[in-house]
Amino acid sequence: MSAHTFIDQYIGGKWIPSASPETLDVRNPATEEVLAVVPAGGAADVDAAVAAARSAARAWGAGDKAQRLAPLERLVAGLAAAQEEIAETVTAELGCPIGFATSVQAALPLGVANNYLGILAGYEFEERVGHSTVYHEPVGVVAAITPWNYPLHQIVAKVIPALAAGCVVVLKPAEDTPLTARLFARLVDEAGFPPGVFNLVIGTGTAAGAALAAHPDVDAVSFTGSTAVGRLIAEQAGRGIKRVTLELGGKSASVVLPGADLAKAVNVTVANVFANSGQTCSAWTRLLVPEEQYAEALAIAAEAAAKYVPADPARPETRVGPLVNAKQLDRVRGYINDAIAEGARVVVGGPQPPAGLATGFYVSPTILADVTTDMAVAREEIFGPVLCVMSFDDAEDALRIANATDYGLAGAVWAADDAEAAAFARRMDTGQVDINGGRFNLAAPFGGYKSSGVGRELGRHGLEEYLQTKSLQFRA
Ligand code: NAD
């Protein structure tokens, strides 16, 4: 593919030239080649996009849900028709294996968007509370700032419920994956929304992102990304008295209690961590097993890991591709080296690049043993295919270790029966727990405890992030 230069942003229902002459290179992480050049938009583009959104806000928000459902249905149909193009685009700019890009990166957001059609159709925006009528009204202009790891899912999980709620949106996607965002904007355009209801500004976080988050005419900010940037955004939102939703990092635990199916638990955990090259905020990056089963768990994990050989993500049989960029590669290797220096033992992988891949941001999928709660790898988000295996004495010890992190996004519990696993999960300080291999539910609220975030995405809870209530009192 030869590098195409784009100079436009999607503002006010049109593709218009960016106000910024600066550009960003979009690189294929597997080949390191420049795929495309996109504008590095800044404050002027953000001002234009927010103004376009504001001018569309009242009419869009005042319309009834049938008026919103019609273009949303056309958008969902567009997402369905573009599945192959979405998967290929995500593979090209993220390096995600094409199989996973098809089954998750393209299919999950379609499922999420579809689910919101049903929620919108059934949602009551008006209710009676005693002598009051309570209206659920849109918050207004929403700034959506998204990361690169699940580029379309993160966009859909914000933009679709915001539009369904009657809000208008300015999206600032991650600079590593703007082509997926452009594709989404094209589908919005084809679906025929009123101009200004959805706007896209591509640019860096420090220029476009910061200008958008701090913009006085933005009513709510929905951010997914690092905890460090999330904190900045929350501070700005606090000063502006803006609604804020934060989906941040994670350091989730997969806890295997005595009596559980050890082989299944370990195999599923390895697959969970290595998927998408470990670049998943909810990944179960700490595997906790009983001391007496530690050696057996490591042997099962090593055997499972052997199936994850880094390779060209465009090949259908590839299970693990490169990391997104050189910075992430340095960061992940740095964590592996630090862990070794702190006394962790490499069971599989390590800091050395995988054999035979001189080009591309590839890291060796790694399993670390003898990890303790004081090590950085046990506490901090690595965002790479690195699993830390830890042992515990009894269930209380397991709970102490599971909760020994500032994060609390997800987790898994494996036990002899669901009731025992659920009782343990209720004591974990985390927002989502999968019980004995229970599957991801795109309609269930998703979000963090502690430093993993504020607010929830997905399902009805995700819609309500974009609503505010107004109560009218009538004479009884
Ligand atoms: P990031 O927080 O730097 O970027 C996320 C988004 O925020 C991007 O669109 C970026 O341009 C924007 N941004 C950056 N600085 C900003 C600022 N000052 N104001 C407003 N917007 C700003 O995250 P990253 O560099 O893409 O990834 C770094 C780490 O973030 C990862 O290693 C991982 O720990 C975490 N992360 C978490 C998730 C998640 O889903 N929770 C997703 C991606 C990354």
Under the banding of pLDDT at 50, 70 and 90, the label for residue 322 is very high
How far are the Cα atoms of 39, 295, 464 from residue 36, in angstroms, in the given order? Answer: 10, 48, 37
Q: Give the residue whose CA is nearest to atom 42 of ligand 1.
A: 225
Model pLDDT for residues 78-106, shown as the tens digit of each residue: 999 999 999 999 999 999 999 999 999 99
SS3 label, residue 138: strand
Write the DSSP string, 175-234. Answer: TT-HHHHHHHHHHHHHHTPPTTSEEE--B-IIIIIHHHHT-TT--EEEEES-HHHHHHHH
Q: List the end-to-end C-alpha distance of the chain, in Å, as a whole number.
A: 69
What is the maximal distance between C-alpha atoms in the chain? Answer: 78
* 300 CA from centroid of ligand 1 (Å): 34
The total number of residues shown for the chain amounts to 476
For the cut 70, the answer to whether the pLDDT of residue 120 exceeds it is: yes
Whether the CB-CB separation of 407 and 451 falls below 8 Å is answered with yes
Q: Residue type at 403?
A: N
Q: What are phi and psi of 11, to 5 degrees?
A: -135, 130
Under the banding of pLDDT at 50, 70 and 90, the label for residue 2 is low
Q: Which of 239, 109, 221, 228 is nearest to 171 (CA)?
A: 221
Q: Is any atom of ligand 1 closer than 6 Å to the C-beta of 382?
A: no
How far are the Cα atoms of 21, 194, 466 from residue 59, in angstroms, in the given order? Answer: 33, 9, 16
Measured from the Cα of 409, ligand 1's closest atom is 41
Measured from the Cα of 174, ligand 1's closest atom is 9
Which residues are marked as active site? 247, 281
pLDDT (0 to 100) of residue 172: 98
Average pLDDT over residues 195-219: 98
Whether the CB-CB separation of 231 and 218 falls below 8 Å is answered with no
For the cut 80, the answer to whether the pLDDT of residue 213 exceeds it is: yes
Under the banding of pLDDT at 50, 70 and 90, the label for residue 63 is confident
Q: Give the residue whose CA is nearest to atom 38 of ligand 1.
A: 225
Q: Give the residue whose CA is nearest to atom 32 of ligand 1.
A: 383
* 223 CA from centroid of ligand 1 (Å): 9
CA 170 to chain centre: 18
Average pLDDT over residues 173-191: 98
pTM: 0.97
CA–CA distance, 413 with 450 (Å, rounded to integer): 19
Q: Which two tokens stand for residue 447?
A: 């979000």
Q: Residue type at 7?
A: I
Under the banding of pLDDT at 50, 70 and 90, the label for residue 302 is very high
Model pLDDT for residues 225-259, shown as the tens digit of each residue: 999 999 999 999 999 999 999 999 999 999 999 99
Angle, helices 65-81 vs 83-94, to 10°: value is 70
Model pLDDT for residues 31-55, shown as the tens digit of each residue: 999 999 999 999 999 999 999 999 9
* 236 CA from centroid of ligand 1 (Å): 16
Q: Which of 465, 432, 467 is nearest to 282 (CA)?
A: 432
CA 386 to chain centre: 18
For the cut 60, the answer to whether the pLDDT of residue 1 exceeds it is: no
- Whole-number average pLDDT of the chain: 97
* 205 CA from centroid of ligand 1 (Å): 8
Pocket-testing residue among 159, 226, 451, ligand 1, by greatest number of atoms within 8 A of Cβ: 226
Q: What are phi and psi of 226, to 5 degrees?
A: -75, 155
Model pLDDT for residues 407-437, shown as the tens digit of each residue: 999 999 999 999 999 999 999 999 999 999 9
* 377 CA from centroid of ligand 1 (Å): 19
Measured from the Cα of 230, ligand 1's closest atom is 2
